[in-house]
Amino acid sequence: MNTSLHRRFAPFLYVLIFFAGFLTACLWLNPQAYLADLPAVVAAIAASALVFLAYALVAANLRAKNTRLAQETRLKQEAVQPIVRATLQPVAEQPEMLALAVCNHGKGPAHNLRFQIALEAGHPASEAVAQALTLLPLFQNGMDALAAGETTAGLVADSRTLRARIPDQRFSGTLKLVAEYEDTLGESGRTESILDLQPLNAAAPAEARPRKKLLY
């Protein structure tokens, strides 16, 4: 607030100093001609200064109030803002199965969640995984709500089945999963999760090789 007042008063102070110097010079050069009207001139300058001072104080108070309201609104939104992220990873008990986990990392619940997929053109692996993801209820029906800190997961497909649809049978490329939702205040939110498919190759189970028979 002090910086704002200094910025507003600086031009006025320059003008006031100019008029003070001008009146001093006039009184010093010809005191008889200006002494008669000096009270009226001083009163006019004082009235103008009071009007400007009142305007500056009101404007500074309004700006401070608006800043405070904006900060309170931002803090209120952050207190209830959901942050929805998604990850694609193998199931711990069944490494050949892929699961999509959706977690709310925010401080408030997410409502009316809807999910979309944006994939890279010309990547068979991305297309195969995206096709399997669209079959999940999350993408077909969405979700009514996801509480803060809550995680929901769904099985996508068997990685061996997906790799059979890929010419080189290796996962590559990325997928962008877009989540759209509303917070408790009804404000719309949107987050994007980039799913890298390359690490799925390391988690894929190795193909069983036929054992050689020993002839005796």
Max CA distance (Å), the chain: 137
Selection from 168, 103, 99 nearest residue 129 by Cα = 99
pLDDT digits (tens, 9 = 90+) for 57-113: 787 788 888 888 877 777 666 678 899 999 999 998 888 899 999 999 988 899 999
User: In angstroms, rounded to a whole number, what is the distance separating the alpha carbons of residues 98 and 132?
Assistant: 10
Task: Give strand ranges (E) for 33-161.
Answer: 84-90, 97-104, 110-119, 143-146, 151-158
User: In angstroms, rounded to a whole number, what is the distance separating the alpha carbons of residues 11 and 47?
Assistant: 17
User: pTM (2 decimals)?
Assistant: 0.60
pLDDT digits (tens, 9 = 90+) for 128-166: 999 999 999 989 899 999 999 999 999 999 988 998 888
pLDDT digits (tens, 9 = 90+) for 10-20: 666 666 677 67
